[in-house]
């Protein structure tokens, strides 16, 4: 039996997977009402693709899942369109991607999504859906049968399999999915299947991103009945949204930064509400005030906080601290160890570089060399010189933008936040009333 079960939890409350499209996911998403509204307004306002910019772990995927779930809940209670159906999985683009394979991949996932919805809701069968179901879900049988005759959509099918793009091209799947989307969502007001492209920063440069997005613009980005959400970190989304060639089919980005500190206690209590088997008989080795402290230490990044709270729990499982004082002491001991660990492998960092790191951490922002004036540097080169030891010690991570070298984006690592704590400490906040066991 794992310790979460012994502590009377249904599952690990600090799991770092994105919050999902469910009531539970919605209950766990804290402090994002404004951003949820921005996302839903954009979905309902126009068919342009939505863009979300924010560092890894800040909560982009969770925000999308929960926003779509809340749209669904509203649709369900009022029985009024629009209805936004999330595609069964999200997509990623890489610099060496094959546009035809990507299109096939998306259309097959959309077809599956529509098939699953049809099965779930008992709606009347759409023409061709059982053939498509066969083809997608039992490719072996289908291939054998169809190699002998015309394919499911009246086109010669040959040896095309699900993973074979030339088979896809000849199969008529594209037309079929178009037709289905048209029947299911006759106008933008009726809703759409929502597809998410996650981690656009995998494209490494905004030039790559623009090229790839242009390739799929007419086949996918503007396909009626589909709606797109493009997510990424490190400035890549901001820069594509402002290129003239894509501007017309993209919304201005929703920028996600850390959740405000005031929500820390609620993040913890919502996790307890959802995951504890009983609200009276559970055990947790961390106090609310210490959780809030860690949340501030990690600059309100939920993912870093959850990951490290999880590690602290593993540490505390050995000693099982019980009183508020024991828990705080265990937390302090653990944090001291983590902070000491983070200080190893630090290259020679000058006082000026430390000063820069502190400034960037307190602004809680990614930055580019072009931001030198904001950071108090006369030139970009002077800023770069102070950044160098910080990247060498993994305190900042960077990505290059080939189109514009000045747009090299620097981001703060969790290690930097621990190091910052080791050097300067983080003030504690007194627990609010009603906190603790």
What burial class does residue 317 get, using C-beta atoms within 10 Å of its C-beta: 0-12 exposed, 13-18 middle, 19+ buried?
middle
- Residues of this chain that interact with Mg ion (CB under 5 A) are 60-61
Compute the distance between CA of residue 415 and CA of residue 396 in angstroms, rounded to an integer. Answer: 9
- Partner whose footprint covers residue 302, from ligand ADP, Mg ion, none (CB < 5 to 8 Å by kind): ligand ADP
Residue among 58 and 114 whose Cβ is closer to Mg ion = 58
Residue 206 interacting partner from Mg ion, ligand ADP, none (CB closer than 5 to 8 Å by kind): none
- Min separation Cβ 233 and ligand ADP, Å: 7
Min. distance of Cβ 308 from ligand ADP in angstroms? 12
Give the shortest CB-64-to-Mg ion separation in angstroms: 8
Q: Which residue minimizes CB distance to Mg ion?
A: 61
DSSP secondary structure string for all residues of 44-110: HH-SSBEEEE--TTSSHHHHHHHHHHHHHHHHHHH--S-EEEE-SS-B---TT--HHHHHHHHHHHH
- The smaller minimum CB distance to ligand ADP, of residues 291 and 367, is found at 291
Q: In the complex, which residue's CB is closest to ligand ADP? A: 59
Choose the contact partner of 161 out of ligand ADP, Mg ion, none; CB within 5 to 8 A by kind: none
CA dihedral 63, 47, 246, 86 (to 10 degrees): 40
What residues make contact with ligand ADP under the rule CB under 6 A? Answer: 16-19, 28-32, 54, 56-62, 259, 267, 302-303, 306
Q: Which does 17 bind (CB under 5 to 8 A by kind): Mg ion, ligand ADP, none?
A: ligand ADP
CB of 88 to ligand ADP, least distance (A): 18
Closer to Mg ion at the Cβ: 299 or 353? Answer: 299
The interface partner of residue 57, options being ligand ADP, Mg ion, none and the CB cut-off 5 to 8 Å by kind, is ligand ADP
Phi, psi angle pair for 13, to nearest 5°: -75, -10
> Between residues 143 and 233, which has the closer beta carbon with respect to ligand ADP?
233
Beta carbons of 415 and 421 less than 8 angstroms apart: no
With 0-12 / 13-18 / 19 or more C-beta atoms within 10 angstroms meaning exposed / middle / buried, residue 21 is middle
For ligand ADP, give the closer residue by CB, 51 or 303. Answer: 303
Nearer to Mg ion, 61 or 353 (CB): 61
Number of Cα atoms under 13 Å in the Cβ half of residue 264: 26
């Amino acid at each position: 039996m794992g310790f979460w079960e012994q502590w009377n939890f249904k599952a690990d409350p600090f799991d770092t997977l994105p919050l999902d499209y469910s009531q539970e996911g919605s209950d766990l998403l804290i402090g994002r009402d404004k951003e949820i509204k921005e996302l839903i307004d954009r979905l309902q306002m126009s068919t342009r693709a939505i863009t979300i910019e924010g560092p890894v772990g800040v909560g982009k995927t969770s925000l999308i899942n929960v926003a779509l779930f809340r749209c669904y809940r509203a649709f369900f209670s009022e029985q009024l369109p629009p209805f936004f159906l999330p595609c069964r999985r999200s997509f990623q683009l890489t610099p060496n991607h094959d546009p035809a394979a990507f299109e096939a991949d998306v259309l097959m996932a959309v077809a599956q999504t529509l098939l699953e919805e049809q099965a779930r809701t008992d709606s009347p069968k759409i023409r061709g859906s059982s053939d498509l179901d066969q083809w997608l879900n039992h490719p072996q049988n289908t291939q054998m049968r169809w190699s002998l005759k015309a394919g499911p959509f009246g086109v010669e099918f040959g040896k095309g399999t699900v993973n074979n793009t030339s088979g896809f091209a000849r199969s008529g799947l594209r037309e079929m999915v178009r037709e289905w989307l048209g029947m299911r969502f006759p106008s933008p007001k009726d809703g759409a299947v929502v597809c998410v492209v996650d981690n656009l920063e995998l494209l490494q440069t905004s030039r790559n991103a623009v090229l790839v997005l242009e390739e799929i613009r007419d086949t996918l980005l503007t396909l009626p009945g589909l709606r797109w959400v493009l997510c990424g970190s490190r400035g890549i989304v901001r820069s594509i949204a402002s290129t003239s060639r894509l501007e017309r089919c993209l919304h201005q980005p929703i920028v996600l930064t850390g959740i405000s500190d005031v929500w820390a206690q609620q993040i913890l209590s919502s996790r307890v509400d959802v995951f504890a088997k009983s609200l009276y008989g559970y055990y947790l080795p961390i106090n609310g005030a210490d959780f809030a402290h860690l949340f501030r230490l990690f600059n309100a990044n939920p993912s870093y906080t959850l990951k490290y709270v999880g590690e602290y729990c593993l540490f505390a499982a050995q000693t099982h601290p019980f009183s508020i004082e024991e828990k705080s002491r265990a937390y302090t001991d653990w944090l001291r160890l983590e902070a000491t660990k983070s200080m190893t492998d630090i290259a020679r960092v000058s006082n000026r570089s430390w000063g820069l790191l502190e400034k960037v951490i307190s602004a809680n922002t990614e930055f580019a060399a072009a931001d030198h004036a904001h950071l108090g540097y006369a030139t970009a080169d002077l800023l770069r010189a102070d950044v160098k030891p910080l990247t060498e010690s993994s305190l900042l991570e960077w990505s290059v933008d080939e189109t514009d070298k000045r747009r090299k984006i620097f981001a703060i690592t969790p290690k930097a936040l621990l190091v910052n704590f080791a050097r300067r400490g983080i003030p504690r906040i007194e627990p609010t009333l009603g906190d603790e066991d």
